[in-house]
Amino acid sequence: MTPPDAARAGSESGETAHFRALERLYASAPINLLFPSTLSITEAGLSTISFDAGDAHFHAAGAAHGTLYFKMLDDAAFYAANSLVNDRFLLTTAFNMLLTRPMGAGPIRAEGRWLNGRRRVFVAESRLLDAEGEEVARGTGTFMRSRFPLASLPGYSER
C-alpha cells in the first residue's frame, strides 16, 4: 500500500525533520531508561528499533520476558504509523502478538511497517529479529490520533 500523502509533512526536508523529531521523542521517553534502545525512521511508514537484550530482561527460565517482546513490537509499529502523522501523537488502541520462539541475549531489531489508515485510525505491523536475524515474534497494532499535539511533547521539539 502507498502511505498517505506526505503533503501534510511538507517537503522532503520537512518530512525528514519530522522523523528526527520522532526519534528525539522516543529517546526522551522515561520508559527507555529501562529499555535503552535506538529508533531510526528512514522513510514514511517504516521504523527500526535496535536494542541489546541481556540477563536483566530474562524470566526465570533464562529467555527474554514477554514485556520486552511487546515493548519493541508495539514501539516499532507505533512509530511506523506516527511517521505519517506530523500534528498529533498516536495512541495504541489494540495490539496482537505472536511469539514464535524464545529470544536470548544479544542485539535485537524490531522493524515496523504501516499497513493502512489515513485519517483517524492507523494499522501497522512489526516483527522482532534476534541476533542471528531470525524472526522471534510479530505483531499488528491499531493506533488512533490523540488530542496531544506532537509539538507540545518534551523531546519532539528541539526547545
Q: Is residue 14 part of a domain?
A: yes
Q: Is residue 119 part of a domain?
A: yes
Give which of 111, 135, 134 is closest to 49, Cα–Cα.
Answer: 111
Give mean pLDDT, residues 137-154.
96
How far apart, in whole angstroms, are the C-alpha atoms of residue 29 and residue 102? 27
pLDDT score for 1: 52
Give mean pLDDT, residues 14-26.
96
Give mean pLDDT, residues 2-22.
68
Give mean pLDDT, residues 104-128.
96
pLDDT category, 139, cuts 50, 70, 90?
very high
Q: pLDDT, tens digit, for every residue of 27-85?
A: 999 999 999 999 999 999 999 999 999 999 999 999 899 999 999 999 999 999 999 99
Give which of 122, 125, 112 is closest to 142, Cα–Cα.
Answer: 122
**C-alpha radius of gyration, the chain, whole number:** 15
Q: Is residue 118 part of a domain?
A: yes
pLDDT category, 144, cuts 50, 70, 90?
very high
How far apart, in whole angstroms, are the C-alpha atoms of residue 70 and residue 28? 19
pLDDT score for 3: 53
Domain total of the chain: 1
Q: Is residue 159 part of a domain?
A: no
Q: Is residue 157 part of a domain?
A: no
Domain that holds residue 120: 6-152
CATH of the domain at 43: 3.10.129.10
